[in-house]
Structure 1
């Protein structure tokens, strides 16, 4: 910008300079003279001595009186257009505007002369400015960066590259256009280039999306990739990460088949978010699977988890509920460490909460967990969930659990469908601020052909030398009635004989032989009153005993043992049914 047009010879400037000189001389005449370093005069006025003397030769303060608005707007890098009248006729566009959109002829309405403003939706905004007399702003409007009319288009080295766009923030301000006698109401359109800011914000959002996707992938990798599907239950789970940040959560769930038709179901929540919470969650989930293989009662599993959680990180609070379903008993046995209650829906639609006991969260120590149980027969459903499903900032958590009970009472369909319906019924969306994990299980009531694939048979044994022959005869008859192939029937009879013989030798009455078939396997189980679990060992060639469990492990698909409530044990083995067997 050229500042040489401002001159001290202008009349107004001369008067102001003379007035300043008069004030300075008057101030100087009032300051007493000094008498030297040793004299007794007054201290000289620092302001008067340090102030430069103003005179005709001093540089004047520039005046804006003669500054050309046209010259300033022409050099502004922003887009500027001045329009007047109710139809927004063009009065002026600056060089930056003409360079982007091309030159414009003054006097033509904006709808014809400035079609880009119409495409950007600014004409209605300009109407509002004229009516209200107040400025209006629209932010980050996308503007194609194309060459103006008559100018050659820029070369495109990459034919697949997308055309680049710019982003501008438009401000429309009211102003008077023309002289004082012929002034008209108009609008000043000022557009600042914010392309760099918009692209930087988009890069930041893209980076945050990638980080969140990575965090969610990490979270999901710590959860089961595919749930185990028990023979007697249908199960499904849903996990939805909360919030929009990149911090992973600590919710987890799992389904673990224990053998002999029994299934463990677990859900837990490590409080807080971030890598530390996810790491603790991963360790606890792995530990649960390891402890589940010991086939311990639920309260003993939580007791072991409690000690492990304190060792991992005593500052991380974690809740957990661990449940076991046994189709032979038709019950759900559970233990809870500070977690929300399991909900069970009976075949008639009645929803019941799992009652106490509920212990403190994991890692607190000094607490003896106990197990509870509730009926869970054919036709029943249950839901395990984390607090993100029912907890809201503006209401008590009991209200959320009650809302879940109502939604669960009316939910129908497969377990996966029920998970989705419960999520929607509780108002959980993508913007939900907490992680949500839901695990639904159903014990279907089978009829017709499906019912023929599930059978149970049991024989009470009182001991004595006749127990083994009775067991073999019973097993042979039952397996024949179930129309098993001969080779499978022979293996089943041999397994029943070995398990009963082992119980007769090492156990105590009462004894029971139980045979069970599902659509996928044959299960043989023997229970007795002794709680010493058998171990597989290597028998020496000269030994007359000690080979029973080894025989079972060799011929069966899997085998195991567990202690039963009230004392005693159960030893079982499984045989997978051949493909295509009805």
Structure 2
């Protein structure tokens, strides 16, 4: 089939032919549009599609419009048109006295309308209350913008030197409307204009779906904007020769004087509701106004859609205090006269940050509540009252971090182990908040449980290490566990990544317990070891957490050295020493970390106090004569200590049973030790066997197994432990009668 004769009838063929003709004629930038017979080339034959690598044409196709000409220009916008719709507070002042040039609707709605030309010190009292007047002086002098943040504006606004927006009672408004000339709006039907105005208001930028920006007006002459305010940006060219429009070249006041209202300004009739509804200036005509004039809304306020639009007070529209961030920017304000120099002025821009401030306050309140809960939890987990050993004086203090710091996991404890021995522990859980406090509470409880086993310090830390990993595998803690034995006069301790113990000798010298320490609890895989440091009568020691010595701008070793110096000069009771160390290290209520300090003293007793502390020991060589010798020794010693007969008999019985148990189940060497304090009698027997005795129920036919049960019945407490060199110690205590 021959398609040649049909090609002229196909529209695509025509387009392709026209395109080929245009390309053949050359690509000229000034080529005239083709006639009606020419049509654009088909998409398939465009140069950029058919030949991607070909050079683009230098001119647009005939009839095309330059896209740059389609961009709207902003030259026709005046400053009131732009700033009047800004929801932020805007005011323009000029001159050294900061005379008012312009305030936008949002500013007038909050603080009330302001008379142009009046000094800000008199007409803008809110600027004085907000502390902006000195800031504006700085802006004028330096030429640089300044900002103040989150200034509070009271709910009712600041006192205004002027009356609020003009408002009239319903009957007054009716009278004024009756006396006012009737006006028509370009001879359009009123209902149509109202509908257009409502639609325009709905389409206004910055209006929500449920609110409109309306204007409050009174039936009185409208005062056009001042000349110097209107001259900030030229008005639209199409309104240049219209009567009633203020122009920069037609000043309404002599140079150097503040502009005044025009005398020929026509009154606003009831049809000005169009301007009120739309929020824009409109052109109205009437019998009393031979020309046209611009009616601008005096002030604006938001009404919910569907509510009546009437007079609203200029101030006090807030139901709560507001917060604004004000920025003062230097600008130049055109003078009323074209020949006069421009005024130096300040643009005051206030952004409403009430929601941000209230959100920040809610966040701070929530953080305060969480911190108070964590502090309450931590204080409840710390010992409410420290146990006071017979041979030591102990005091501790805990201070949480400042109000901006979350509570940490510092803790301390004092545990009496029996037989005059005392365990002292201090630790710090890494992290902050309720979680750290909860982990701290679990570790402290575990320490007390493990301490009852009377294990060596390194074994206690070994158990804590495994427990910390079980509680939270991502949580670690540092800890020092120490045991003081008055019979040996030493402090045996083990450390898991904690700071060294400081010991002060009776002569005032301070030294650190520098035995090697292990890693923090929760790391696992480490075998902890124990060390010891002398702590005889007259010596003191301090245990502490890193919050006492660690600073962001100082090495921690320097902090420990400062603590050594302060500890060397600290005297008094342990509680006084705690307070002095806190003050000497500069710990205040605003400190950024929590602090725990534990101070212990081994007092050197003399005089009457020394008479209350005695020790007596007997080496037992074994044999059948060991038990009678032990009973005789105990009876004589207790008699010399002037104990009551009943207590003396109970003590002799307990010593006899413990020695008999050691003779039957233990191995040499054996020793009987009697010790008295101001509050208790302690009886202890040691031997070379490390099998600990257990209390068991003896059957009526059994001839043995009742010794430990008898001791547990007659004594206040009893216990046993393994000794460091091998062997064991079994002890019991009797409380001394008061008086």
Provide the TM-score with structure 1 as the length reference.
0.80
- 2:685 aligned counterpart, secondary structure: strand
C-alpha distance in 1 between matches for 2:642 and 2:724: 34
C-alpha distance in 2 between matches for 1:314 and 1:184: 70
C-alpha distance in 1 between matches for 2:487 and 2:494: 20
Where in structure 2 are the equivalents of 1:163-178 lying within 5 Å?
A: 164-177=320-333, 178=335
C-alpha RMSD of matched pairs (Å): 4.0
Instruction: Give the match for residue 12 of structure 2.
Output: none
- C-alpha change, 1:187 and 1:442, in structure 2 (3 Å) is same
Instruction: Give the match for residue 133 of structure 1.
Output: 143
- C-alpha change, 1:245 and 1:70, in structure 2 (3 Å) is closer
- C-alpha change, 1:132 and 1:312, in structure 2 (3 Å) is closer
Q: Report the alpha carbon displacement of residue 312 of structure 1 after superposing the two structures with TM.
A: 5.5
Instruction: Indicate if the aligned counterparts of 2:32 and 2:62 stay in contact, CA closer than 8 A.
Output: no
Structure 1 alignment gaps of length 5 or more: 1-24, 157-161
Higher radius of gyration, 1 or 2: 2
C-alpha distance in 1 between matches for 2:48 and 2:111: 68
- C-alpha change, 1:133 and 1:37, in structure 2 (3 Å) is closer
For residue 336 of structure 1, the aligned residue among 473, 495, 498 is 495
- 2:691 aligned counterpart, secondary structure: coil
Residues 53-110 of structure 1: CA distance to partner in whole angstroms, max 9, x if unpaired?
58xxxx9765544534345444433333333332333444444333333344444433
For residue 297 of structure 1, the aligned residue among 449, 456, 463 is 456
Structure 2 alignment gaps of length 5 or more: 1-27, 50-56, 165-311
- 1:535 aligned counterpart, secondary structure: coil
Instruction: Indicate if the aligned counterparts of 2:430 and 2:476 stay in contact, CA closer than 8 A.
Output: yes
Instruction: Give the match for residue 262 of structure 1.
Output: 421
Instruction: Give the match for residue 181 of structure 1.
Output: 339
For the pair 1:561 / 2:720, whether they are aligned, the reply is yes
Where in structure 2 are the equivalents of 1:140-159 lying within 5 Å?
A: 140-146=150-156
For residue 29 of structure 1, the aligned residue among 32, 38, 47 is 32
For the pair 1:491 / 2:650, whether they are aligned, the reply is yes
- C-alpha change, 1:365 and 1:114, in structure 2 (3 Å) is closer
- C-alpha change, 1:50 and 1:287, in structure 2 (3 Å) is farther
Instruction: Give the match for residue 533 of structure 1.
Output: 692
Q: Report the alpha carbon displacement of residue 351 of structure 1 after superposing the two structures with TM.
A: 0.8
Q: Report the alpha carbon displacement of residue 561 of structure 1 after superposing the two structures with TM.
A: 1.0
C-alpha distance in 1 between matches for 2:514 and 2:44: 101
- 1:549 aligned counterpart, secondary structure: helix
- C-alpha change, 1:483 and 1:169, in structure 2 (3 Å) is same
C-alpha distance in 1 between matches for 2:473 and 2:150: 49
C-alpha distance in 1 between matches for 2:149 and 2:74: 31
C-alpha distance in 1 between matches for 2:358 and 2:43: 71
- Would you say how many aligned residue pairs link Structure 1 and Structure 2? 549
- C-alpha change, 1:94 and 1:426, in structure 2 (3 Å) is same
C-alpha distance in 2 between matches for 1:511 and 1:345: 35
- C-alpha change, 1:519 and 1:132, in structure 2 (3 Å) is same
Residues 239-278 of structure 1: CA distance to partner in whole angstroms, max 9, x if unpaired?
4556888876454433221111101122334545577766
Where in structure 2 are the equivalents of 1:373-384 lying within 5 Å?
A: 373-384=532-543
For the pair 1:99 / 2:109, whether they are aligned, the reply is yes
- C-alpha change, 1:194 and 1:484, in structure 2 (3 Å) is same
C-alpha distance in 2 between matches for 1:37 and 1:502: 116
- C-alpha change, 1:493 and 1:61, in structure 2 (3 Å) is same
Q: Report the alpha carbon displacement of residue 402 of structure 1 after superposing the two structures with TM.
A: 2.4
For residue 119 of structure 2, the aligned residue among 109, 118, 141 is 109
Q: Report the alpha carbon displacement of residue 448 of structure 1 after superposing the two structures with TM.
A: 4.3
Provide the TM-score with structure 2 as the length reference.
0.65
Residues 346-382 of structure 1: CA distance to partner in whole angstroms, max 9, x if unpaired?
1111112113243444456665443222211122111
C-alpha distance in 2 between matches for 1:397 and 1:553: 49
Residues 10-59 of structure 1: CA distance to partner in whole angstroms, max 9, x if unpaired?
xxxxxxxxxxxxxxx955539997796699997897984597658xxxx9
C-alpha distance in 1 between matches for 2:118 and 2:433: 61
For the pair 1:506 / 2:665, whether they are aligned, the reply is yes
For residue 409 of structure 1, the aligned residue among 565, 568, 571 is 568
Residues 400-453 of structure 1: CA distance to partner in whole angstroms, max 9, x if unpaired?
332322222122333334334434444455665655433222222334444444
- 1:29 aligned counterpart, secondary structure: coil
Q: Report the alpha carbon displacement of residue 538 of structure 1 after superposing the two structures with TM.
A: 1.0
Instruction: Indicate if the aligned counterparts of 1:320 and 1:336 stay in contact, CA closer than 8 A.
Output: yes
- C-alpha change, 1:197 and 1:370, in structure 2 (3 Å) is closer
Instruction: Indicate if the aligned counterparts of 1:254 and 1:265 stay in contact, CA closer than 8 A.
Output: yes
